[in-house]
Amino acid sequence: MSSGKILELHNIRYVNLLKDVTFDWQQGEVIALMGINGAGKSTLARLIAGLLLPESGEIRMRQNGTYLQWEKLKRWQEIGYVGQHPRRQTIGATVAEELGFGQINLGLDRKTVRDRVKELTVQIGLKGKENQSPATLSGGERQRLVIAAILALNPSFLILDEALSMLDAKAQETILELLRNMRLKTGQLWITHDPELARQADRLLVLNQGAIADWGNPAEAFKYHYEELSLFDKRTVHLKQASLQARPGHESCKPVLEWEDADYNSRLRINNYIKPGEFIAVVGSSGAGKTTILESVFGFILPAKGRLSVFGKGMGKGNVNELRRKVGYVLQEAGEYLLGTSVFKEIFRETKNSVVNSLTEEQGLYLEGYEISLSLAWSSPERLSGGERQKVALAAAMRTVPEILLLDEPLLGLDAKSKVSIQTLIFALRGVTILFVTHDLRDVLGAADRIWLVENGALTLDCSAEEWTNFRDQFVRSGVRC
């Protein structure tokens, strides 16, 4: 491990989230940080990155025993930060501009920058997309882009706040290889709910009720302490088993959704149908076209050729708004699309309570059903953790009582207990047609009726959930976790 720089946190306090947080982080050390949703992990990350200031306590850096002047450090260069929502961190007009922006600011000559950008696009699987806008990329592709742009600055320390969560297995391994190559000169803090990822770190820190505990070697910690702090509560096993009951059979009837040789400007080509009440798991690698299927159902895009029928009606510009009223949609990076000034107003948009800042019993029970603390009802969604915003987005979508529910990675950012609770709510729905996009089959096995594999903008496999193991190799090759 490097004997270079050490980042020190001493007695950091911030509102009611962080209480006397103290630990050292060495350059070259990889730390996994875990904790339940709302524990303060992202707040701690923003404090270290300098995006927030602690109410008390001190953050400082020393090198070879000498403390550096914290106020004069180029913190953006010393400490790289990749947040939960890569959409917020892209500033370049194109992929190439995004990758080169920071390097130009470091004073590198343009030829060096061009060569490095070309190398990075190959490494992160975005070759050929150099001139595309980051807005046209999938969530996983944007995560890869932002991480690579920060790594290109060679920071002494790097914070990844759930920054690998949108990646399929193959893409995650690509990024992990980049991180391994940076390991000797870059300290890394991985904020994650994924125990498989955390086990690859040098040290595990757990944040609970504002305090931080050092659990040491992750492999040993998971072996002896997995039940603590509700991270891996045994109840989740029983809850999941209880929730994964087969949904009722579907009568032979007219499709609720039917694509007839539909071509969406080469982004997606599809010819298939879905019966009312079916649960379709849509899997595939980042950028394969999974989200495009959901966008087609919601009318964000219309087919250039062919036809999509919704409830027997061909979708077009004239009726898209009418058909949307029957569809609920939880988008990828759901927290980015919350419009209400409070959690209450986001979820209960149609309601005007007679008593200000007061919940009815029914409203309170509804929030509790989605594991949303009643104390958050009047908070701005912007102040919530990523996992809490995810729950709010799902609760708001379900208030419309949709006939079709579109879910784009709805479990991202959730701790183990919250994840199972949300799975239970989704899987218990009856009479709702569900399209559930994920890069992890384990999220939907036992609930899905059919599994669609999407590759390079085409539906390459449609199998029943019962026979998925017959195609395991094909799923694995495409980057799907099984």
Coil/strand/helix, residue 348: coil
Query: Does 438 lie in the same domain as 290?
Result: yes
Query: Does 152 lie in the same domain as 182?
Result: yes
Within a domain: residue 204? yes
How many Cβ atoms are within 10 Å of 115's Cβ, its own excluded?
Answer: 12
Q: Please determine, for residue 109, whether its predicted confidence score (pLDDT) is greater than 80.
A: yes
Query: Does 115 lie in the same domain as 151?
Result: yes
Within a domain: residue 263? yes
The per-residue pLDDT for 251 is: 56
Please give the model's pTM, rounded to 2 decimal places: 0.87
> Are the C-beta atoms of 90 and 145 separated by less than 8 Å?
yes
Over residues 312-331, mean pLDDT:
93
Query: Does 223 lie in the same domain as 252?
Result: no
Over residues 106-131, mean pLDDT:
92
How many folded domains does the chain comprise? 2
Q: How far apart are CA 30 and CA 24, in angstroms?
A: 12
> Are the C-beta atoms of 215 and 206 separated by less than 8 Å?
yes
Q: Please determine, for residue 127, whether its predicted confidence score (pLDDT) is greater than 50.
A: yes
Percentage of the chain lying above the pLDDT 90 cut: 62
Query: Does 195 lie in the same domain as 144?
Result: yes
Query: Does 128 lie in the same domain as 253?
Result: no
Last residue of a domain, one of 173, 196, 230: 230
pLDDT one-digit tens code per residue, 136-145: 888 889 999 9
Coil/strand/helix, residue 34: strand
Query: Does 302 lie in the same domain as 213?
Result: no
Q: Lowest-confidence range among 16-25, 58-67, 102-111, 334-343?
A: 334-343
Query: Does 132 lie in the same domain as 48?
Result: yes
Range of the domain at 148: 5-230
Query: Does 253 lie in the same domain as 221?
Result: no
Coil/strand/helix, residue 55: coil
Q: How many secondary structure helices (H) and strands (E) does the chain include?
A: 16, 20
Residues 6 or more apart in contact with residue 15 via CB below 8 angstroms: 55
Pairing of strands 257-263, 269-274: antiparallel
26 - beta bridge partners?
6
Percentage of the chain lying above the pLDDT 70 cut: 92
Query: Does 274 lie in the same domain as 193?
Result: no
Query: Does 273 lie in the same domain as 125?
Result: no
The per-residue pLDDT for 1 is: 45
Within a domain: residue 390? no
Within a domain: residue 389? no
Within a domain: residue 92? yes
pLDDT one-digit tens code per residue, 2-48: 458 999 999 999 998 999 999 999 999 999 999 988 899 999 999 99
Last residue of a domain, one of 200, 230, 260: 230
Last residue of a domain, one of 207, 230, 253: 230
> Which among 414, 140, 418 has a CA at the least distance from the CA of 288?
140
Residue 253 φ/ψ, nearest 5 degrees: -155, 180
- The domain spanning residue 157 has which CATH number? 3.40.50.300
Query: Does 155 lie in the same domain as 272?
Result: no
Within a domain: residue 192? yes
